[in-house]
Amino acid sequence: MKIRAIPNLYRNMKRWHKLVAVLSRYGLADWLSSLNVDFVKDQIKDRDGEALSRHSRETRIRLALTDLGPTFIKMGQLLSTRPDLVGRELADELKQLQTNVPADPPDVVRETVTTELGQPIEDLFSEFDDVPLASASIGQVHRARLHEGTDVVVKIRHASIESIIRDDLEVLSGLASLAEQIDEFKPYRPAATVAELSRGLLRELDFGREERNLHQFGELFRDDTRIRIPQPFTEFCTSRILTMERLEGVKLDSEEALEATNFDVKQIVRSGAEIYLEMIFTHGLYHADPHPGNLLLLPDNVLGLLDFGMVGRLDERLREEIESMLMALVERDVMMLTSIIRRVGSMPVHLDDVVLASDMSDFVDHYAAQSLDQFDLGGALGEMMEIVHRHQVTLPAQMALLIKTLVTLEGSTELLHPEFSIMEMMKPFHRKMLLRRMSPARQMQKMRRLYMEVEHLAEVLPGRILDILEQVQSGKFDVHLDHRGLGPSVNRLVLGMLASSLFLGGALMLSHEVTPVLFPTTSVLGLHKISLLGLLACGVSSLLGLRFVQAIRKSEQLDRRE
């Protein structure tokens, strides 16, 4: 541990204590679930009085994150977008995480607004409702009206949430460092995963980022009458406050309100799907949380989008890979699908290519019989992510987020139009993708990029070769080799040499009766003048020899399992 980390550890001691207590409680419940003694299983209960050991392991993880508070709930929600890391079952369970954070009192809210915007609320808004519409993990939302008469919503970050999240992230970072030392967790790259999730969570703390997203999407779809993006009011926005236009409509998760409307549901679903596919495959920028609560049905069959805190961005190369992956899925091309996963994913050292190709073949065969208009995109992507997780392949975060978005989008469209198929909608985009890839403009762009890379290589290559030649000439050229798996073998070799050396030394001391000796004047069972040091050396060498044999046998068993 680094010295500068000690003050942080001391400051977060109380949080560490709660974390250990919660994890111990749920870990004990996990152990009790394996027992067949009913009265023992029922000893640890959740908040509702139900025995924790009766829940599934995934449910216990969700409950543990809920007990640990807003930061861990938010991290769990982010992990729900990464089934390639945590598996499909746990990702589905984590989607149920809900934050019921108490709202800040009105005086705290007013003080925050005044401090951030530099004026009292009465000077900023003609009306401001002190009772929030909702209070989530990071902020709360209030109704308000500008003096010019525009109805708005004001999103205000909780007063103390930033310090809480930063302290919790320090604790999580410490946990990840400990997990890196455990072989069972190493394939999941805990430190890198926590760092990635921490960046995403800290980005959500900055409401200025969401304001920029609203401006960017508003500009992209300024002339599109099918969609409505809330307009932000920059003069009333800071990193802790976001003021935007209030959209009045019917949310997709309001079943009673939906039944009372006369919207053209099929038209809205089709235009919404077209908009999302355009966001993804044309702009490479998309609203990444299309669950029913963030989708509004507005008059004239217009779709309104809410909450731009989570936005996906795809660079051109990754977008091409995703396009190819969806093409391979539609065309049932196993070789292309496997090749793309290997190309974009982070492969573990022990990956078995034959087994991965076999699993992909079975997966494609399972969905080959489905027609495009009945294709279960969510089920197919979910099963593919389960295969990726099983083989411990880590996909780029952007690709995992896109897959989660497509699955969520399909679920939302099914609420309005169960017969609708996103894959059927992809057919024209499939043709557009092919035409765009073959277009002269795209080819010229690729050639220009290739030329720039070759030009850079031509500039640096002679200098690098000259450096190598100079190092060889001066005798400073080093070749570093990484011997994977050699460490245990060397350790066994040293152990064997140590055991044999101790045995030989002990035998010599016994034969020369090196003092101190046992039974110097008498004989016991025919033994006389036994060197105490020689006997001790032989005993230790025997124990080391037994440990050596045990290590070899264990290694052989592991080899047979592999």
Active site residues per annotation: 289
Q: Are 281 and 326 in contact (CB under 8 A)?
A: no
Residue 302 corresponds to which amino acid? V
- The percent of the chain in helix, strand and coil, each rounded to the nearest 5, is 65, 10, 25
Half-sphere exposure (Cβ direction) of 399: Cα atoms closer than 13 Å: 28
The Cα–Cα gap between 130 and 143 comes to 8
The span from the CA of 489 to the CA of 306, in Å, is 58
- Structure token digits, residue 519: 């039974």
Q: Is the peptide bond before 105 cis (omega within 30 degrees of 0)?
A: no
- Evaluate whether 296 touches 229 at the Cβ level (below 8 Å): no
Q: Among 311, 154, 165, 151, which residue's Cα sits nearest to residue 241?
A: 154
Cα gap 381→365, rounded to integer Å: 14
Helix (H, G, I), strand (E, B) or coil at 143: strand
Is residue 165 within 8 A of residue 205, CB to CB? The reply is yes
Rounded-to-integer distance, Cα 148 and Cα 163, Å: 36
Residue 15 burial (C-beta neighbours within 10 Å; 0-12, 13-18, 19+) = middle
Would you state the torsion angle of the CA atoms of residues 111, 113, 115, 118, taken in this order, to the nearest 10 degrees? -130
Dihedral sign for Cα 57, 63, 67, 69, please: positive
Report the alpha-carbon distance of residue 322 to residue 384 in Å, rounded: 13
Q: What angle do CA 151, 154, 160 make, to 5 degrees?
A: 170
